[in-house]
Chain A
Protein backbone atom coordinates (compact mmCIF):
# COMPACT_ATOMS: atom_id res chain seq x y z
CA UNK A 1 0.00 0.00 0.00
CA UNK A 2 1.07 3.52 -0.82
CA UNK A 3 2.08 5.04 2.51
CA UNK A 4 1.74 8.58 1.21
CA UNK A 5 -1.85 7.96 0.23
CA UNK A 6 -2.44 6.35 3.59
CA UNK A 7 -1.26 9.37 5.51
CA UNK A 8 -3.12 11.75 3.19
CA UNK A 9 -6.32 9.84 3.87
CA UNK A 10 -5.91 9.96 7.63
CA UNK A 11 -5.09 13.66 7.52
CA UNK A 12 -8.18 14.31 5.43
CA UNK A 13 -10.41 12.32 7.78
CA UNK A 14 -8.91 13.96 10.86
CA UNK A 15 -9.43 17.40 9.31
CA UNK A 16 -13.07 16.59 8.78
CA UNK A 17 -13.47 15.47 12.38
CA UNK A 18 -12.14 18.65 13.93
CA UNK A 19 -14.45 20.81 11.84
CA UNK A 20 -18.21 21.05 12.10
CA UNK A 21 -19.19 18.02 10.07
CA UNK A 22 -22.12 15.95 8.97
CA UNK A 23 -21.87 12.33 10.03
CA UNK A 24 -23.29 10.84 6.84
CA UNK A 25 -21.09 12.98 4.64
CA UNK A 26 -18.15 11.84 6.74
CA UNK A 27 -19.07 8.17 6.47
CA UNK A 28 -19.50 8.48 2.74
CA UNK A 29 -16.04 10.02 2.44
CA UNK A 30 -14.66 7.25 4.61
CA UNK A 31 -16.09 4.36 2.59
CA UNK A 32 -14.97 6.03 -0.63
CA UNK A 33 -11.40 6.51 0.63
CA UNK A 34 -11.34 3.06 2.15
CA UNK A 35 -12.25 1.52 -1.18
CA UNK A 36 -9.56 3.49 -3.03
CA UNK A 37 -6.83 3.12 -0.43
CA UNK A 38 -7.17 -0.60 0.16
CA UNK A 39 -7.92 -1.31 -3.47
CA UNK A 40 -11.07 -3.23 -2.66
CA UNK A 41 -14.17 -3.35 -4.83
CA UNK A 42 -16.58 -1.95 -2.29
CA UNK A 43 -16.96 -0.88 1.33
CA UNK A 44 -20.04 -0.65 3.52
CA UNK A 45 -20.67 0.63 7.04
CA UNK A 46 -23.52 -0.76 9.11
CA UNK A 47 -24.76 0.47 12.46
CA UNK A 48 -27.02 -1.20 14.98
CA UNK A 49 -30.27 0.52 15.90
CA UNK A 50 -31.45 0.47 19.53
CA UNK A 51 -33.30 -2.79 18.90
CA UNK A 52 -30.05 -4.42 17.77
CA UNK A 53 -30.89 -4.53 14.06
CA UNK A 54 -28.11 -3.52 11.74
CA UNK A 55 -28.80 -0.80 9.20
CA UNK A 56 -26.72 0.31 6.25
CA UNK A 57 -25.34 3.79 6.98
CA UNK A 58 -22.95 4.21 4.08
CA UNK A 59 -21.91 2.21 1.06
CA UNK A 60 -19.39 2.99 -1.64
CA UNK A 61 -21.82 1.80 -4.31
CA UNK A 62 -25.48 0.99 -4.71
CA UNK A 63 -24.49 -2.59 -5.51
CA UNK A 64 -22.78 -3.10 -2.17
CA UNK A 65 -25.66 -1.41 -0.36
CA UNK A 66 -27.97 -4.03 -1.81
CA UNK A 67 -25.59 -6.82 -0.89
CA UNK A 68 -25.43 -5.53 2.69
CA UNK A 69 -29.21 -5.41 2.75
CA UNK A 70 -29.30 -8.93 1.44
CA UNK A 71 -27.24 -10.09 4.42
CA UNK A 72 -29.59 -8.33 6.82
CA UNK A 73 -32.68 -9.64 5.11
CA UNK A 74 -31.46 -13.21 5.18
CA UNK A 75 -29.98 -12.88 8.62
CA UNK A 76 -26.72 -14.42 7.51
CA UNK A 77 -23.30 -13.29 6.39
CA UNK A 78 -19.87 -12.28 7.67
CA UNK A 79 -21.08 -8.83 8.67
CA UNK A 80 -23.69 -10.19 11.07
CA UNK A 81 -21.27 -12.73 12.49
CA UNK A 82 -18.75 -9.97 13.05
CA UNK A 83 -21.28 -7.73 14.78
CA UNK A 84 -22.62 -10.51 16.97
CA UNK A 85 -19.22 -11.83 17.98
CA UNK A 86 -17.45 -8.47 18.13
CA UNK A 87 -14.55 -10.06 16.22
CA UNK A 88 -13.17 -9.58 12.73
CA UNK A 89 -14.36 -12.08 10.14
CA UNK A 90 -11.96 -12.54 7.28
CA UNK A 91 -12.90 -14.71 4.33
CA UNK A 92 -10.16 -15.19 1.74
CA UNK A 93 -12.25 -17.34 -0.55
CA UNK A 94 -16.02 -17.08 -0.58
CA UNK A 95 -16.28 -20.30 -2.56
CA UNK A 96 -14.92 -22.18 0.47
CA UNK A 97 -17.57 -20.94 2.89
CA UNK A 98 -20.70 -21.78 0.95
CA UNK A 99 -21.98 -24.07 3.68
CA UNK A 100 -21.66 -21.40 6.33
CA UNK A 101 -23.63 -18.69 4.49
CA UNK A 102 -25.16 -20.37 1.42
CA UNK A 103 -27.39 -17.50 0.29
CA UNK A 104 -24.90 -14.77 1.03
CA UNK A 105 -21.99 -16.44 -0.77
CA UNK A 106 -24.12 -17.11 -3.83
CA UNK A 107 -25.21 -13.48 -3.98
CA UNK A 108 -21.73 -12.07 -3.32
CA UNK A 109 -20.12 -14.26 -5.96
CA UNK A 110 -22.78 -13.30 -8.43
CA UNK A 111 -21.70 -9.69 -7.91
CA UNK A 112 -18.14 -10.78 -8.65
CA UNK A 113 -16.74 -10.65 -5.13
CA UNK A 114 -14.37 -13.41 -4.07
CA UNK A 115 -13.33 -12.29 -0.60
CA UNK A 116 -14.77 -10.26 2.25
CA UNK A 117 -13.49 -8.80 5.48
CA UNK A 118 -15.87 -7.66 8.21
CA UNK A 119 -14.45 -5.55 11.02
CA UNK A 120 -16.21 -4.59 14.24
CA UNK A 121 -16.82 -0.95 15.07
CA UNK A 122 -16.42 -0.81 18.78
CA UNK A 123 -16.26 1.57 21.62
CA UNK A 124 -14.95 0.07 24.85
CA UNK A 125 -17.26 -2.90 25.48
CA UNK A 126 -19.90 -1.88 22.98
CA UNK A 127 -20.01 -3.05 19.40
CA UNK A 128 -21.95 -0.38 17.54
CA UNK A 129 -21.73 -1.84 14.04
CA UNK A 130 -19.39 -3.27 11.42
CA UNK A 131 -17.42 -2.23 8.38
CA UNK A 132 -17.28 -4.61 5.41
CA UNK A 133 -14.80 -4.69 2.60
CA UNK A 134 -15.54 -6.70 -0.52
CA UNK A 135 -12.87 -7.64 -3.05
CA UNK A 136 -11.65 -10.34 -5.34
CA UNK A 137 -9.91 -13.36 -3.73
CA UNK A 138 -7.73 -13.60 -1.70
CA UNK A 139 -8.72 -10.25 -0.30
CA UNK A 140 -6.84 -8.15 2.22
CA UNK A 141 -3.49 -9.14 3.73
CA UNK A 142 -2.64 -8.62 7.38
CA UNK A 143 -1.23 -5.15 6.87
CA UNK A 144 -4.35 -4.10 4.93
CA UNK A 145 -6.58 -5.45 7.68
CA UNK A 146 -4.76 -3.34 10.26
CA UNK A 147 -5.31 -0.24 8.17
CA UNK A 148 -8.94 -1.17 7.59
CA UNK A 149 -9.49 -1.66 11.31
CA UNK A 150 -7.96 1.76 11.94
CA UNK A 151 -10.40 3.24 9.42
CA UNK A 152 -13.29 1.41 11.11
CA UNK A 153 -12.15 2.96 14.40
CA UNK A 154 -12.08 6.39 12.77
CA UNK A 155 -15.64 5.79 11.57
CA UNK A 156 -16.67 4.95 15.13
CA UNK A 157 -15.06 8.11 16.46
CA UNK A 158 -16.77 10.15 13.76
CA UNK A 159 -20.20 8.80 14.60
CA UNK A 160 -19.75 9.36 18.31
CA UNK A 161 -18.12 12.72 17.86
CA UNK A 162 -21.16 14.10 16.12
CA UNK A 163 -23.06 16.46 18.38
CA UNK A 164 -20.94 15.29 21.31
CA UNK A 165 -21.26 18.78 22.71
CA UNK A 166 -24.85 18.12 23.71
CA UNK A 167 -24.78 17.53 27.41
CA UNK A 168 -27.31 14.74 27.53
CA UNK A 169 -25.89 12.81 24.61
CA UNK A 170 -24.87 9.23 25.11
CA UNK A 171 -23.58 6.65 22.68
CA UNK A 172 -27.07 5.27 22.26
CA UNK A 173 -28.70 8.62 21.56
CA UNK A 174 -25.92 9.64 19.18
CA UNK A 175 -26.43 6.45 17.21
CA UNK A 176 -30.13 7.14 17.12
CA UNK A 177 -29.50 10.62 15.75
CA UNK A 178 -27.21 9.24 13.05
CA UNK A 179 -29.78 6.59 12.11
CA UNK A 180 -32.52 9.17 11.82
CA UNK A 181 -30.33 11.31 9.58
CA UNK A 182 -30.01 8.33 7.27
CA UNK A 183 -33.81 8.03 7.10
CA UNK A 184 -34.00 11.72 6.31
CA UNK A 185 -31.48 11.40 3.48
CA UNK A 186 -33.44 8.49 1.97
CA UNK A 187 -36.65 10.52 2.06
CA UNK A 188 -34.87 13.44 0.37
CA UNK A 189 -33.42 11.09 -2.27
CA UNK A 190 -36.96 9.90 -3.02
CA UNK A 191 -38.15 13.46 -3.51
CA UNK A 192 -35.26 14.38 -5.81
CA UNK A 193 -35.51 11.14 -7.76
CA UNK A 194 -39.15 11.90 -8.48
CA UNK A 195 -38.94 15.64 -9.04
CA UNK A 196 -35.79 15.55 -11.18
CA UNK A 197 -36.41 12.13 -12.71
CA UNK A 198 -33.12 10.62 -11.63
CA UNK A 199 -31.91 7.39 -10.02
CA UNK A 200 -31.40 7.12 -6.25
CA UNK A 201 -27.63 7.13 -6.80
CA UNK A 202 -27.86 10.33 -8.84
CA UNK A 203 -30.14 11.86 -6.24
CA UNK A 204 -27.56 11.20 -3.54
CA UNK A 205 -24.72 12.59 -5.65
CA UNK A 206 -26.82 15.67 -6.40
CA UNK A 207 -27.69 16.22 -2.73
CA UNK A 208 -24.08 15.86 -1.74
CA UNK A 209 -22.77 18.17 -4.47
CA UNK A 210 -25.33 20.85 -3.64
CA UNK A 211 -24.56 20.63 0.09
CA UNK A 212 -20.86 21.07 -0.67
CA UNK A 213 -21.40 23.92 -3.11
CA UNK A 214 -23.57 25.79 -0.62
CA UNK A 215 -21.46 24.87 2.44
CA UNK A 216 -24.29 23.15 4.22
CA UNK A 217 -24.61 19.91 6.10
CA UNK A 218 -26.03 17.07 4.08
CA UNK A 219 -28.72 16.32 6.67
CA UNK A 220 -29.67 19.98 6.95
CA UNK A 221 -30.16 20.20 3.20
CA UNK A 222 -32.09 16.91 3.22
CA UNK A 223 -34.32 18.32 5.93
CA UNK A 224 -35.03 21.42 3.85
CA UNK A 225 -35.78 19.30 0.79
CA UNK A 226 -38.21 17.04 2.65
CA UNK A 227 -40.02 19.84 4.46
CA UNK A 228 -40.44 21.76 1.20
CA UNK A 229 -38.13 24.60 2.20
CA UNK A 230 -35.68 24.15 -0.62
CA UNK A 231 -35.98 25.19 -4.22
CA UNK A 232 -35.48 21.81 -5.79
CA UNK A 233 -34.93 23.13 -9.30
CA UNK A 234 -31.76 24.83 -8.02
CA UNK A 235 -30.41 21.39 -7.13
CA UNK A 236 -30.66 20.21 -10.71
CA UNK A 237 -27.56 22.27 -11.47
CA UNK A 238 -25.66 19.64 -9.50
CA UNK A 239 -27.14 16.73 -11.38
CA UNK A 240 -24.31 14.33 -12.21
CA UNK A 241 -23.42 14.27 -15.88
CA UNK A 242 -24.57 11.10 -17.51
CA UNK A 243 -23.75 9.68 -20.88
CA UNK A 244 -27.21 10.33 -22.20
CA UNK A 245 -27.34 14.01 -21.25
CA UNK A 246 -23.85 14.92 -22.38
Chain B
Protein backbone atom coordinates (compact mmCIF):
# COMPACT_ATOMS: atom_id res chain seq x y z
CA UNK B 1 0.00 0.00 0.00
CA UNK B 2 1.66 3.22 -1.05
CA UNK B 3 1.67 5.87 1.64
CA UNK B 4 2.36 8.74 -0.68
CA UNK B 5 0.16 11.56 0.56
CA UNK B 6 -2.60 12.96 -1.59
CA UNK B 7 -0.40 15.94 -1.49
CA UNK B 8 -0.96 19.59 -1.52
CA UNK B 9 2.77 19.99 -1.92
CA UNK B 10 2.35 23.00 -4.15
CA UNK B 11 0.54 24.81 -1.38
CA UNK B 12 3.04 23.80 1.30
CA UNK B 13 5.97 24.95 -0.79
CA UNK B 14 4.23 28.13 -1.89
CA UNK B 15 3.63 29.00 1.76
CA UNK B 16 7.35 28.58 2.38
CA UNK B 17 8.18 30.83 -0.57
CA UNK B 18 5.75 33.50 0.64
CA UNK B 19 7.12 33.26 4.20
CA UNK B 20 10.67 33.64 2.89
CA UNK B 21 9.67 36.79 1.01
CA UNK B 22 7.94 38.17 4.09
CA UNK B 23 11.06 37.55 6.20
CA UNK B 24 13.09 39.46 3.67
CA UNK B 25 10.51 42.19 3.67
CA UNK B 26 10.16 42.08 -0.09
CA UNK B 27 7.65 40.91 -2.62
CA UNK B 28 7.85 37.30 -3.72
CA UNK B 29 10.52 36.76 -6.32
CA UNK B 30 12.51 33.97 -7.93
CA UNK B 31 15.14 34.53 -5.23
CA UNK B 32 12.66 33.20 -2.68
CA UNK B 33 11.87 30.18 -4.85
CA UNK B 34 15.61 29.46 -5.13
CA UNK B 35 16.20 29.77 -1.40
CA UNK B 36 13.26 27.50 -0.58
CA UNK B 37 14.37 25.00 -3.24
CA UNK B 38 17.81 24.77 -1.63
CA UNK B 39 16.35 24.23 1.83
CA UNK B 40 13.60 21.83 0.73
CA UNK B 41 16.08 19.69 -1.20
CA UNK B 42 18.60 19.92 1.67
CA UNK B 43 21.42 21.15 -0.53
CA UNK B 44 24.05 23.86 -0.05
CA UNK B 45 22.65 26.44 -2.43
CA UNK B 46 20.77 27.39 -5.56
CA UNK B 47 21.00 29.79 -8.47
CA UNK B 48 18.88 30.81 -11.41
CA UNK B 49 19.99 31.82 -14.87
CA UNK B 50 17.72 33.24 -17.55
CA UNK B 51 18.68 31.99 -20.98
CA UNK B 52 17.61 32.46 -24.57
CA UNK B 53 18.40 30.42 -27.63
CA UNK B 54 20.78 33.07 -28.91
CA UNK B 55 22.69 34.19 -25.84
CA UNK B 56 24.52 32.31 -23.14
CA UNK B 57 22.53 33.49 -20.16
CA UNK B 58 22.12 36.05 -17.43
CA UNK B 59 22.41 35.10 -13.77
CA UNK B 60 19.31 36.37 -12.00
CA UNK B 61 19.78 35.21 -8.44
CA UNK B 62 22.02 33.05 -6.27
CA UNK B 63 21.82 32.02 -2.63
CA UNK B 64 25.54 32.21 -1.86
CA UNK B 65 29.02 32.75 -3.31
CA UNK B 66 29.46 29.18 -4.46
CA UNK B 67 26.20 29.13 -6.41
CA UNK B 68 27.21 32.49 -7.92
CA UNK B 69 30.43 30.91 -9.18
CA UNK B 70 28.60 27.80 -10.42
CA UNK B 71 26.19 29.93 -12.46
CA UNK B 72 28.93 32.21 -13.79
CA UNK B 73 31.10 29.28 -14.80
CA UNK B 74 28.35 27.78 -16.91
CA UNK B 75 27.57 31.09 -18.57
CA UNK B 76 31.26 31.78 -19.22
CA UNK B 77 32.24 28.29 -20.33
CA UNK B 78 29.03 27.63 -22.22
CA UNK B 79 28.84 24.12 -20.81
CA UNK B 80 27.48 22.39 -17.72
CA UNK B 81 24.29 20.77 -16.41
CA UNK B 82 22.44 24.06 -16.75
CA UNK B 83 23.30 24.42 -20.43
CA UNK B 84 22.30 20.80 -21.09
CA UNK B 85 19.05 21.09 -19.13
CA UNK B 86 18.09 24.09 -21.22
CA UNK B 87 18.98 22.39 -24.49
CA UNK B 88 17.35 19.04 -23.68
CA UNK B 89 14.33 20.56 -21.91
CA UNK B 90 14.74 17.99 -19.15
CA UNK B 91 16.32 18.01 -15.69
CA UNK B 92 20.01 17.07 -15.59
CA UNK B 93 20.98 15.48 -12.32
CA UNK B 94 24.67 15.09 -11.52
CA UNK B 95 25.23 13.59 -8.07
CA UNK B 96 29.02 13.60 -8.43
CA UNK B 97 30.95 16.05 -10.59
CA UNK B 98 34.17 14.11 -9.97
CA UNK B 99 32.81 11.09 -11.83
CA UNK B 100 34.15 10.09 -15.23
CA UNK B 101 30.80 10.72 -16.83
CA UNK B 102 30.72 14.35 -15.66
CA UNK B 103 34.35 14.94 -16.64
CA UNK B 104 33.77 13.58 -20.13
CA UNK B 105 30.61 15.56 -20.57
CA UNK B 106 31.89 18.86 -19.20
CA UNK B 107 35.70 18.80 -19.36
CA UNK B 108 36.00 22.48 -18.43
CA UNK B 109 33.03 22.94 -16.11
CA UNK B 110 33.30 19.81 -13.95
CA UNK B 111 36.80 20.45 -12.55
CA UNK B 112 36.16 24.19 -12.25
CA UNK B 113 32.93 23.68 -10.31
CA UNK B 114 34.67 21.28 -7.95
CA UNK B 115 37.37 23.90 -7.47
CA UNK B 116 34.82 26.52 -6.33
CA UNK B 117 33.16 24.10 -3.93
CA UNK B 118 30.33 22.33 -5.78
CA UNK B 119 30.44 18.53 -5.87
CA UNK B 120 26.89 17.82 -7.07
CA UNK B 121 24.73 19.92 -9.39
CA UNK B 122 21.05 19.46 -10.26
CA UNK B 123 19.71 21.56 -13.09
CA UNK B 124 15.98 22.11 -13.76
CA UNK B 125 14.72 23.82 -16.90
CA UNK B 126 12.19 26.60 -16.36
CA UNK B 127 9.62 25.91 -19.01
CA UNK B 128 5.97 25.78 -19.90
CA UNK B 129 5.47 23.80 -23.08
CA UNK B 130 7.46 25.55 -25.79
CA UNK B 131 8.25 28.47 -23.50
CA UNK B 132 11.79 28.19 -22.17
CA UNK B 133 13.01 30.83 -19.77
CA UNK B 134 16.17 29.48 -18.20
CA UNK B 135 17.37 27.05 -15.59
CA UNK B 136 17.38 26.68 -11.82
CA UNK B 137 20.49 24.96 -10.48
CA UNK B 138 20.90 23.37 -7.08
CA UNK B 139 24.39 22.52 -5.85
CA UNK B 140 25.77 20.62 -2.90
CA UNK B 141 29.25 20.87 -1.39
CA UNK B 142 29.71 17.13 -1.39
CA UNK B 143 28.52 14.36 -3.69
CA UNK B 144 24.94 13.29 -3.08
CA UNK B 145 21.76 12.27 -4.88
CA UNK B 146 18.36 13.80 -4.37
CA UNK B 147 15.73 11.64 -2.69
CA UNK B 148 12.51 11.43 -4.67
CA UNK B 149 10.62 13.81 -2.38
CA UNK B 150 13.48 16.32 -2.62
CA UNK B 151 13.43 15.99 -6.39
CA UNK B 152 9.68 16.50 -6.43
CA UNK B 153 9.97 19.65 -4.32
CA UNK B 154 12.70 20.98 -6.58
CA UNK B 155 10.49 20.44 -9.64
CA UNK B 156 7.54 22.18 -8.00
CA UNK B 157 9.76 25.13 -7.08
CA UNK B 158 11.18 25.28 -10.60
CA UNK B 159 7.57 25.59 -11.80
CA UNK B 160 6.96 28.30 -9.21
CA UNK B 161 10.07 30.13 -10.42
CA UNK B 162 8.81 29.84 -14.00
CA UNK B 163 5.51 31.46 -13.06
CA UNK B 164 7.31 34.16 -11.08
CA UNK B 165 9.55 34.95 -14.02
CA UNK B 166 6.54 35.20 -16.31
CA UNK B 167 4.53 37.18 -13.77
CA UNK B 168 7.41 39.46 -12.93
CA UNK B 169 7.47 40.68 -16.49
CA UNK B 170 3.96 42.03 -16.17
CA UNK B 171 5.04 44.32 -13.34
CA UNK B 172 2.04 43.45 -11.26
CA UNK B 173 3.13 43.13 -7.67
CA UNK B 174 0.14 41.12 -6.66
CA UNK B 175 0.40 38.75 -9.59
CA UNK B 176 0.74 36.09 -6.96
CA UNK B 177 -0.75 38.12 -4.17
CA UNK B 178 -3.56 35.73 -3.53
CA UNK B 179 -1.10 33.07 -4.37
CA UNK B 180 -2.29 29.92 -2.75
CA UNK B 181 -5.67 30.31 -4.36
CA UNK B 182 -4.70 32.13 -7.52
CA UNK B 183 -1.75 30.65 -9.30
CA UNK B 184 -1.87 27.15 -7.97
CA UNK B 185 -5.50 26.48 -8.64
CA UNK B 186 -5.26 28.09 -12.05
CA UNK B 187 -2.51 25.75 -13.04
CA UNK B 188 -4.59 22.71 -12.19
CA UNK B 189 -7.71 21.48 -13.77
CA UNK B 190 -8.30 23.86 -16.59
CA UNK B 191 -4.71 24.34 -17.49
CA UNK B 192 -5.21 22.94 -20.97
CA UNK B 193 -7.35 25.98 -21.77
CA UNK B 194 -4.54 28.28 -20.65
CA UNK B 195 -2.10 26.52 -22.95
CA UNK B 196 -4.56 26.43 -25.86
CA UNK B 197 -5.35 30.13 -25.39
CA UNK B 198 -1.62 30.94 -25.43
CA UNK B 199 -1.41 29.32 -28.86
CA UNK B 200 -4.52 31.07 -30.18
CA UNK B 201 -3.52 34.50 -28.91
CA UNK B 202 -0.01 34.12 -30.31
CA UNK B 203 -1.59 33.79 -33.77
CA UNK B 204 -4.05 36.64 -33.15
CA UNK B 205 -1.25 39.00 -32.13
CA UNK B 206 1.54 37.61 -34.27
CA UNK B 207 3.76 37.10 -31.21
CA UNK B 208 5.38 34.07 -29.58
CA UNK B 209 3.52 32.01 -26.97
CA UNK B 210 5.47 33.54 -24.12
CA UNK B 211 4.39 37.06 -25.03
CA UNK B 212 0.87 35.74 -25.62
CA UNK B 213 0.83 34.41 -22.05
CA UNK B 214 1.92 37.79 -20.70
CA UNK B 215 -0.81 39.51 -22.66
CA UNK B 216 -3.45 37.09 -21.38
CA UNK B 217 -2.17 37.55 -17.87
CA UNK B 218 -2.14 41.34 -18.17
CA UNK B 219 -5.64 41.36 -19.61
CA UNK B 220 -6.97 39.13 -16.80
CA UNK B 221 -5.33 41.42 -14.29
CA UNK B 222 -6.68 44.60 -15.84
CA UNK B 223 -10.17 43.13 -16.06
CA UNK B 224 -9.95 41.67 -12.57
CA UNK B 225 -10.81 38.22 -13.87
CA UNK B 226 -9.10 34.90 -13.39
CA UNK B 227 -6.66 33.80 -16.05
CA UNK B 228 -8.63 30.58 -16.45
CA UNK B 229 -11.83 32.51 -17.19
CA UNK B 230 -10.17 34.70 -19.76
CA UNK B 231 -8.51 31.71 -21.42
CA UNK B 232 -11.79 29.78 -21.55
CA UNK B 233 -13.35 32.75 -23.35
CA UNK B 234 -10.51 32.79 -25.85
CA UNK B 235 -10.83 29.06 -26.52
CA UNK B 236 -14.61 29.36 -26.86
CA UNK B 237 -13.97 32.24 -29.29
CA UNK B 238 -15.91 34.68 -27.17
CA UNK B 239 -12.81 36.83 -26.83
CA UNK B 240 -10.21 37.83 -29.42
CA UNK B 241 -7.04 39.81 -29.06
CA UNK B 242 -6.22 42.21 -31.84
CA UNK B 243 -2.79 43.13 -33.15
CA UNK B 244 -4.13 46.60 -33.90
CA UNK B 245 -2.21 48.85 -31.47
CA UNK B 246 -5.29 51.03 -31.00
CA UNK B 247 -7.17 48.08 -29.60
CA UNK B 248 -4.52 46.72 -27.25
CA UNK B 249 -6.19 44.69 -24.54
CA UNK B 250 -5.12 45.81 -21.10
CA UNK B 251 -2.78 48.29 -22.76
CA UNK B 252 -2.15 51.98 -22.23
CA UNK B 253 -5.64 53.12 -23.05
CA UNK B 254 -7.22 50.30 -21.15
CA UNK B 255 -9.53 49.39 -24.00
CA UNK B 256 -10.89 45.95 -24.16
CA UNK B 257 -9.91 43.62 -27.00
CA UNK B 258 -12.29 42.93 -29.82
CA UNK B 259 -15.07 40.74 -28.63
CA UNK B 260 -16.92 38.59 -31.06
CA UNK B 261 -20.67 38.41 -30.84
Contact = CB atoms under 8 A, between A and B. Distances in A.
Interface of A: 50-53, 55-56, 65, 69, 72-73, 80, 83-84, 86, 122, 125-127, 163, 166-173, 176-177, 180, 182-184, 186-195, 200, 222-223, 226-228
B181 interface: no
B204 interface: yes
A50 B155 contact: yes
A183 B8 CA distance: 21
Nearest to A125: B2
Given A166-B88, A226-B130, A227-B130, 17 more contacts: A50-B156, A52-B7, A72-B189, A73-B188, A73-B189, A168-B92, A173-B91, A180-B128, A184-B130, A186-B191, A186-B192, A186-B196, A187-B195, A191-B199, A191-B200, A191-B209, A194-B200
A170 B199 contact: no
Given A72-B189, A170-B151, A226 B203 contact: no
Contacts of B198: 187, 190
A186 B8 CA distance: 25
A189 B5 contact: no
5 contacts: A72-B188, A73-B188, A183-B195, A187-B199, A223-B130
Interface in B190-219: 190-192, 195-204, 208-209
A52 B202 contact: no
Contacts, number: 142
B90 A163 contact: yes
A223 B132 CA distance: 12
Given A168-B94, A176-B91, A184-B129, A53 B5 contact: no
A51 B7 contact: yes
B164 to A, nearest CB: 15
Nearest to A81: B6
Contacts of B93: 168, 170, 173
Given A56-B192, A186-B192, A187-B129, A50 B9 contact: yes
B235 interface: yes
Contacts of A192: 199
Contacts of B203: 190-191, 194-195
B159 interface: yes
Among A65, A163, A176, A193: residue with most chain B CB under 10 A: A176
A193 B9 contact: no
Secondary structure dominating the interface of B: helix
Interface in B6-26: 6-10, 13
Interface residues on B, range: 35 or more
B105 to A, nearest CB: 10
A200 B203 CA distance: 15
Contact of B188 (A53, A127, A191, A222): A53
A182 B93 CA distance: 23
B42 interface: no
A218 to B, nearest CB: 13
B101 A167 contact: yes
A167 B197 CA distance: 35
A78 to B, nearest CB: 14
Nearest to B90: A177
Q: Choose among A173, A187, A189, A192 the residue with the greatest number of B CB atoms under 10 Å from its CB.
A: A187
Nearest to A54: B188
B90 A169 contact: yes
Nearest to B10: A51
B6 A180 contact: no
Given A51-B156, A189-B199, A171 B148 contact: yes
A69 B187 CA distance: 12
A82 B9 CA distance: 19
Given A168-B93, A173-B90, A187-B198, A69 B189 contact: yes
Contact of B190 (A69, A167, A188): A69
A190 to B, nearest CB: 2
A186 B213 CA distance: 13
Given A50-B159, A53-B10, A190-B198, A166 B90 contact: yes
Nearest to B199: A190
